[in-house]
Amino acid sequence: MKSRKISFVVLFSIFIGIVVGLVISSNLNLPIKSIAAGSSNDDQPIQLGATSVVSEELQGLEGLSKAFVAVSKEVSPAVVTINSQTVIKRQNYHPFMDDEFFKRFFRMPEEREQSVRSLGSGVIVNPDGYILTNNHVVNDANEITVVIDKEEYEAEIIGKDPESDLAVIKIEKDNLPTVKLGNSDDLEVGEWVLAIGNPFSDMLQNTVTSGIVSAKGRSGLQIGGGRMPYQDFIQTDAAINPGNSGGALVNLRGELIGINTAIVGQANVGIGFAIPINLAKNVMKQLINDGRVIRGWLGVYIADIDENMAKAFEMEHTKGALVQQVVKDSPAEKAGLVDGDVITKVEDVKIENSSQLTNYIATFAPDSKINVTIWREGKEKQVTVKLGERPADGTSSEKKTDDSVKNKLGIEVEELSSSLRQRLGYETEEGVIVSQLESNSVAAREGIREGDLIMSVNRKEVKSVKEFNDAVKDLEQNDIVLFRLKRGDTSFFRALRIPKDKK
């Protein structure tokens, strides 16, 4: 009996042990391996899972990194350093210059020349030496050099377009590396981009920074002294600094999608702007072929539509461009457009705002006939407009005084625009405005001043810069030219003798 009891206790204890073991095993969720598992490391499945996730993430980052490297290697050789030198004149001043005794016995030059060097970037767009850059990088430069592989090459300006802040220069070298031009219309906000240029110093050539496209279609920015009517900027947070101007903004396919142009403030704060390559393509082509840009002209002053305006004009949306004023004798006036019309469509393109309309009209050649849809008095109406050639300021197709004229007379003129008419009081007059005068020039000595209105040259009326240039271009040494001018309410004549040498 005693041995039976002992055997029963032992068996019962074994049974209880098995039950307790099963319970513990179940609660702890310990794996029960099969022979097919073939591994004695209980933690391996967890490690395998974690390693797999991390590996995929690393592979993605490594892929992005390799894309950056590949694009940088491909594009950087086509991004160059541009050094420009400009000679500027500054007023000479000495504390004794106000003293009559000092001025009687000592003569000092009124002006002194100073050489200013500036740094920028450019992108080779043609293997024969054509380089696309910003106008402000090379504007007014007396000397331009391009650095490629530490070698300097003299460059000449092929054409400049201040209104888009683009310029093309050329060096005498062929078989140069180029960059592929992309399609900036396909660019999306959030897309990765790289900016390549030369910030701050030519010692930092081909600096590459990365970022994303922060926004598209930025306009209304005060860039280039407010002289840029054609704005459709790509905004990016890729670091852009002084010296980057004219450099490349590229996508991860190595395609040029923008020309870096401006920053907010004096250095990078995560807000930079680039000119879309689609806008630059048209400008670049015309500068290379013609040396200037010829744009279609509608002849209206326009503004955006806000919510209150939309309600006032009985519109259901705020899209379109409001015609605030129609220029006299312009294509718009001849087509029947009037103040208060809202332009909602040109051809088949819907107009979102005034900037889009300005940019789109500029893509048409002069004399093009286009269909314009307008909203007038609660109804849609369509008119056909034959575009003119857009002048620099709305009145003429030529804006620059010939260098020969400046050399002969020391005078520079500009068109009598609507704003100048109102500001200077020449509401009913025709002529050109004296915009710049060289000190000690023949014009200055004869009492002509900046802001004077030149109405005729040698008794022949001049109404544009082109007519003025034509009237004086054939003048030779010792010739006398008769100007009829107006200053305020006073009209007067001045006879200028062309000097033998430039004064």
Q: Is 140 a catalytic residue?
A: no
Residue 353: C-alpha distances to residues 94, 304, 307 (Å): 53, 5, 13
Give residue 239's identity as a one-letter amino acid code. Answer: A
* The token pair that represents 264 in the structure block: 């907010």
Q: Which residues contact 424 (CB under 8 A, 6 or more apart)?
A: 433, 451, 453
Q: Which of 161, 165, 304, 341 is catalytic?
A: 165
Q: Do residues 213 and 237 make contact, with C-beta atoms less than 8 angstroms apart? A: no
Q: Do residues 154 and 171 make contact, with C-beta atoms less than 8 angstroms apart? A: yes
3-state secondary structure 433-467: EEEEECCCCHHHHCCCCCCCEEEEECCEECCCHHH
d(CA 423, CA 420): 5
Q: Do residues 320 and 342 make contact, with C-beta atoms less than 8 angstroms apart? A: yes
Q: Is 290 a catalytic residue?
A: no
- Helix, strand, coil % over all residues of the chain, rounded to 5: 30, 35, 40
Residue 69: C-alpha distances to residues 66, 209, 223, 254 (Å): 5, 11, 32, 10
Q: Is 94 a catalytic residue?
A: no
Q: Do residues 293 and 287 make contact, with C-beta atoms less than 8 angstroms apart? A: yes
Buried b (16+ CB within 10 A) or exposed e, 91-126: eeeeeeeeeeeeeeeeeeeeeeeeeeebbbbbbbbe
Q: Which of 245, 330, 441, 456 is catalytic?
A: 245
Quick one: which of 196, 266, 186, 200 has its CA closest to 234? 186
- Reported for 412-418, long-range contacts at CB under 8 A and 24+ positions apart, including other chains, are 412/436, 412/437, 413/454, 413/465, 413/468, 414/465, 415/391, 415/464, 415/465, 416/453, 417/393, 418/327, 418/394
Phi, psi for residue 358 in degrees, rounded to 5: -60, -50
Q: Do residues 319 and 373 make contact, with C-beta atoms less than 8 angstroms apart? A: no
* The token pair that represents 483 in the structure block: 């100007």
Give, for 429, the enclosing helix (H) or strand (E): none
3-state secondary structure 156-224: EEEEEECCCCEEEEEECCCCCCCCEECCHHHCCCCCEEEEEECCCCHHHCCEEEEEEEEEEEECCCCCC
Quick one: which of 276, 466, 461 has its CA closest to 389? 466
Residues designated as active site: 136, 165, 245
